[in-house]
Structure 1
C-alpha cells in the first residue's frame, strides 16, 4: 500500500473555512487516469491536483469529482503552496508547472509568506445575446437583467450585472441552468471602492463575481481562478489600469490580485490556508502497476500524455450527474 503526501489547501483565502478547497497529491510515478479520477471522487473537493516530478519539471493535472479539466486556477495556486509546504520550493522561487493547458509560470513572492502567484491563460470574450431564458431568470432572482453577455473559448458564459443587483445574497442558480450555461456561468458586477466592501491584501476589490458550473459537477465554485483570469482583462480595459482586484462573493468568499502579463496571460496573486496535511493510502489491487521512479516515466510518451489534452480519454463532464462535491 503506497503512502503519498497529500494536503488540503483553501486557496484564495487568508484563513480557515474560506476560499476554494483543493486537495493536492504528490505522486511518485504516473498513475492511471481512472485511479486519479477515483481519488478525486473520494476526496470530494471541487478539484484535486496531482503533481509529478519529471526531467522537464513538475507536471500537473486537475480532476473534479466527476471528470478531468484542462485548467484550474485555484488548484494551481494550491499546488504551488503545497510545494512550498513540502519545501520543494522556497520564498522567491519561480518555476513552471507543465499542464494540458501548457506550461504555467508560478512564483512564491519573497515578501509575502503564504501567498503565491500563478500565470494563467485568459481568453477573448465574444459578445452574445443573452441565452434563452437567462434574462427572465435573472429578473426573477435579482430584479435586474444583464447589462452585457459574452461567450468564451473556455466554454464559460459571462454576464455583467449592474452594481445595484444583490448578487452576493442571491440563492444558487445551478438547478435552473440549462444547455451551455451548465458548463460555466459567470455573473459579475463592479464595486464601489469607497463603499467599505471586501478587501484583498488590504486594498478594496474592484469587482465581484459568482460562478456556477453544474455540468462540471460544481453547483457553485467558491473562488475560481480561471473565471477571474477570463474577465480581468475586461475590467482592466473598463477601469483603464493594468491591475485590478477581484472578489468572489460565494458562501466561502475569497479574492485575488489580477495583473496583465500579455494579451493572452494574466498573473493572479492570492493567499492560501493549509487546512490539513497527511498521506494518501490506496491499495494497488485492481489498478494497473505504475512505472517506478527512474523508469519509463521520464520518456516522451509519458510526458506527452500528461501535457497534451486528449478529448477522447476525458470523462464527459456534461453528462456526469453523480459525485458532486459537498
Structure 2
C-alpha cells in the first residue's frame, strides 16, 4: 500500500519552525491500528489522515472553495485560505479563576519558585492557564526549565490535561510586537511540550482579550521552534486564528 504523505510546518512561513504535522492522504478508510502505526512512524505530535468522503472527490483537482471543512474526532474544523496564510475557525473557551491551593503542587513541580500573577482553568478543554508575573520578559519564558516528567507524579485526578504558561507582551515600537507569549505542555497525553498549539489559543484568546481589552491580537509561542499567530475574536463567540504554513516534505509512504 502506497500513500501520499506530506510534512508541513504550521504557524510559520519558514521551514523547520512552527508546529510540524504529518498529513496522509487516503483513498480508502484505514483501521485505527494502522493510523497509530503511521503516527508513531512519523514521530510528530500531530498526524492527520485526510480521506475522501465521496468516490468522485479528487486530491489532485484544484479546490475552488475558499473554505474547507474537516470532520475530526474533536468535531468540525473549518479552514480558509488567506493571502498571507491560513485562517482556522475555532471555538472560544473561557477560563475561570482557579483556587491556587488546589493546583499549588502541580505549579510548584512545573516551574518551582517562579512568580505567578494569575491562575485560570478551562473546564471545556481541561487546560490550566498560569500567567507569570509581569516583571518577567519573553527571554525568561523562553529559557524557563519546566519539569514535565515529574508532573505525572502529582495528584491530579484527571482535571488538568494541559498546562499553559503565558506572559503579557511588552510595549514596543517594533513592527512585530506581540500582545502575549505562551508555552504549552501536555505530558498527560504524551506531549512534553508542543511547539505551537492552536487549541491552547482558544483559551488564551479569551483570557487576553479580557485582560487587554482587545479583539485583535498577535501572539508568539515561545517553544524552541517558535510560532506566530494572529488572533481575531468574532461576534459569534468564535475566534479566527491565522498562521503561515511551509511544506517541508512531500513523498510516498509504503505500508
Which band: TM-score by shorter chain? 0.7 to 0.9
Deviation at 1:104, TM superposition (A): 2.0
Matches of 2:128 and 2:210 in 1, distance apart? 19
The corresponding residue for 1:192 is: 170
In the other structure, the counterpart of 2:97 is: 127
* Distance verdict in 2 for CA 1:104–1:192, change over 3 Å: same
Offset of 1:125 from its aligned partner? 1.2
1:276 paired to 2:246: no
What residue number does 2:67 align with? 94
1:259 maps onto 2:232 in alignment:
yes
CA positional deviation for 1:224: 0.3
The 4+ residue runs of structure 1 with deviation greater than 3 A are: 55-58, 86-90, 134-139
**Aligned-pair CA distance for 1:183:** 1.8
Number of residue-to-residue matches in the alignment? 245
Root-mean-square deviation (Å)? 2.4
Q: Give me the whole-angstrom Cα distance separating, in 2, the residues matched to 1:101 and 1:133.
A: 30
Take 2:245 and 2:78, find their aligned partners in 1: how far apart are those partners? 18
Distance 1:103 1:230, change over 3 A: same
**Cα distance per residue 1:46-77 (max 9 Å; x no partner):** 1100111214999xxxxxxxxxxxxxxxxxxx
1:156 aligns with 2:127: yes
1:235 maps to 2:208:
yes
Evaluate the alpha carbon distance shift between residue 231 and residue 56 of structure 1 in structure 2; reply closer, same or farther with a 3 A threshold.
Answer: farther
Distance apart, 1:148 and its partner CA? 2.6
Q: Aligned in 2, Cα 1:43/1:138: closer, same or farther, shift over 3 Å? A: closer
- Contact 1:57 1:97 (C-alpha < 8 Å) held by counterparts: no
Pairing of 1:58-207 with structure 2 (within 5 A): 88-89=62-63, 93-109=66-82, 111-112=83-84, 115-130=85-100, 131-137=103-109, 140=112, 142=114, 144-165=115-136, 166-177=140-151, 178=154, 179=156, 180=158, 183-194=161-172, 196=174, 203-207=176-180
Change (3 A) 1:10 1:215: same
Give 5+ residue unaligned stretches, structure 1. 59-82, 197-201, 283-326
- Shift in Å at residue 13 of structure 1? 1.5
CA 1:100–1:155 in 2, change beyond 3 Å: closer, same or farther?
same
TM-score between the two structures when normalised by the length of structure 1: 0.69
Per-residue deviation, 1:261: 2.4
Q: 1:56 to 1:154 in 2, by over 3 A?
A: farther
CA contact (8 A) 1:11 1:22 kept: yes
Q: CA deviation at 1:135?
A: 4.6
Between the aligned partners of 1:267 and 1:56, the Cα distance in structure 2 is 31
Q: Is the 8 A contact 2:95 2:206 kept in 1?
A: no
Q: Which residue of 1 aligns with 2:187?
A: 214
Q: Secondary structure at the match of 1:204?
A: coil
Question: Equivalent residue of 2:112, what SS?
Answer: helix
Alpha carbons 1:255, 1:270 under 8 Å: kept: yes
How many Å separate the matches in 2 of 1:7 and 1:147? 40
Could you say if the C-alpha distance between residues 46 and 138 of structure 1 is closer, same or farther in structure 2, counting changes exceeding 3 Å? closer
1:50 match: secondary structure:
strand
Q: Quote the offset at 1:126 in angstroms.
A: 2.3
